[in-house]
Structure 1
Amino acid sequence: MARLVPAVTRSLDILELFLEGDGTLSAPEVTRSLGLPRTTVHELIATLTARSYLAPVPSRPGRYRLGVRTYQLGSRYAEDLDLSAEGRQVATEVARTCDETVHVAILEGTDVIYIAKVDSTHAVRMVSAAGRRLPAHCTSVGKMLLASLPGTELEARLADLELTAMTPHSITEPVELRTALDTVRQRGVAVEHRESNPDVSCVAAPVRDRTGRVVAALSISVPMIRWSDAREQELAELALKGAGELSGRLGHLGAQ
């Protein structure tokens, strides 16, 4: 492994401090946080400022904030992001952990579209495919995405939503759907029991972008022969972890 360059490491440590709090810091605060010599901190801040990675706060003398160069780098990173590719990478890790089928889906109108899928290795498993479209109200990913919409936008979509049944367990009444979405908001995960497939249950968690907006959902699908209350709780935690990892790749920093 190549040797890490101390000056570069310290510079990056300084920049990462600005991800917390109100986004401004003084040199003494950096010194206390990192335990570095005062002279070293001043030299590093001066260098970062000269290269526009930091900038003085005009209204607060002695304090700094992230500079325009960090915005340019972040914007370039965002431009190169591929939600489908990133989703498949994370889904692969989640599937490797639980050996169940993992999906990443987005909302389009009142349907969900699966943009990434990784199969279980079990002989008995959910059969689906990336690119498949399903009614949002019949799936855990769909309920997660609907529940994450702002109130007015949700009502506008529900007005156009025909609650057709995919199985005898599908939600077909608006009041029942609204109650289910309230439960999703309270729990932070969505669960679907045999609503899109009579032999499968699923649990889903929200995927957020750098602004905190829910842009996708990650789900784990399990045949009923391997489903239980204990397994549901275990997979809910794993789905939240996987969704958090994918959110981080999209630039989300805060708590979900």
Structure 2
Amino acid sequence: MGRRVPAVSRALDILELFLEGDGTLSAPEITRRLQLPRTTVHELVTTLAARSYLVPVAEQPGRYRLGVRTYQLGSRYAEQLDLAAEGQQVARLVAESCGETVHVAVLEGTDVIYIAKVDSTHAVRMVSAAGRRLPAHCTAVGKMLLASLTAEELDARLPAGELPAMTANSLTDVVELRRVLAETAERGFAVERQESNADVSCVAAPVRDRAGRVVAALSVSVPMIRWSERRQGELAELARHGARQLSERLGHSQPG
């Protein structure tokens, strides 16, 4: 490994400061927070501004914000992301932490398509595969994705009549589904109890892109012999943590 260049490290330290607070800083604030010489900060800020990595804030003399160059770099990074590949990596991490089957899925029409899957390490596991398509309303990932739609988008996707069933527990009434989706949106994670497979229950959480849009959902699936209300809570937290990790990989900045 080559030697690190101190000036480059300091320049990057300055840029990373702008990720905090209101996104604006003055040279004296940078000097104080990084404990660097005033002359060094002035030279680095001047160089970053000359290269459009920082720009002066017009209405606040002496303060800077991130420039267009940082947006261009971030956009190019986002373009190179592969949701399926990133989802597979995060799914593997979540599966290793709980030993259960983990999926990542996207919404297409009224169906979900599984784009990533990592199997359970237990002898009793669910049978599924990446690329499989299922009715969204019968799955935890699907409910999470449907719950993230606007009212207009949901109206356009749901049929007027009954919904198809996969098991005796599947939701078939559109009014009841809407109630469940509202509850899911408020709670922040979805639950499926034996609705796509009579022997399996699942929990799922939303995955967001850099613009904050829900683009996928991550679920943890468990055979009923290992399911309980307490286990549901534990797995819901794991699913939410995994979904946050995947969201961060896609460029989403978590609030707080």
Question: TM-score normalised by the shorter chain: which range applies?
Answer: over 0.9
Q: SS in structure 2 opposite 1:13?
A: helix
Residue 119 in structure 1 maps to residue 81 in structure 2: no
TM-score, with length taken from structure 2? 0.94
The residue that corresponds to 1:81 in the other structure is 81
Q: Distance in 2 between matches of 1:213 and 1:233?
A: 25
Q: Give the gaps of 5 or more residues in structure 1.
A: none
Change beyond 3 A, Cα 1:18–1:229 = same
Q: Distance in 2 between matches of 1:128 and 1:199?
A: 13
Q: SS in structure 1 opposite 2:131?
A: coil
For structure 1, which segment, 178-187 or 83-92, has the greater mean C-alpha deviation from structure 2 after superposition?
178-187
Q: Distance in 1 between matches of 2:68 and 2:183?
A: 42
Deviation for aligned residue 1:161: 7.8
The residue that corresponds to 1:62 in the other structure is 62
What CA RMSD, in Å, does the superposition of the two structures yield over aligned residues? 1.7
The residue that corresponds to 2:177 in the other structure is 177
Q: Distance in 2 between matches of 1:51 and 1:22?
A: 22
User: One-letter code of the match for 1:57?
Assistant: V
Q: CA-to-partner distance for each residue in 1:100-132, whole Å, 9 max, x for gaps?
A: 110000001111000011111211101101010
The residue that corresponds to 1:104 in the other structure is 104
Percent sequence identity is 75
Q: Give the gaps of 5 or more residues in structure 2.
A: none
The residue that corresponds to 2:206 in the other structure is 206
The residue that corresponds to 2:215 in the other structure is 215
Task: Tell me how many residue pairs correspond in the alignment.
Answer: 256
Residue 134 in structure 1 maps to residue 134 in structure 2: yes
Q: SS in structure 2 opposite 1:107?
A: strand
Q: Distance in 2 between matches of 1:91 and 1:143?
A: 19
Cα contact 2:101–2:126 (8 A) shared by 1: yes
Residue 251 in structure 1 maps to residue 244 in structure 2: no
Change beyond 3 A, Cα 1:161–1:245 = farther
The residue that corresponds to 1:193 in the other structure is 193
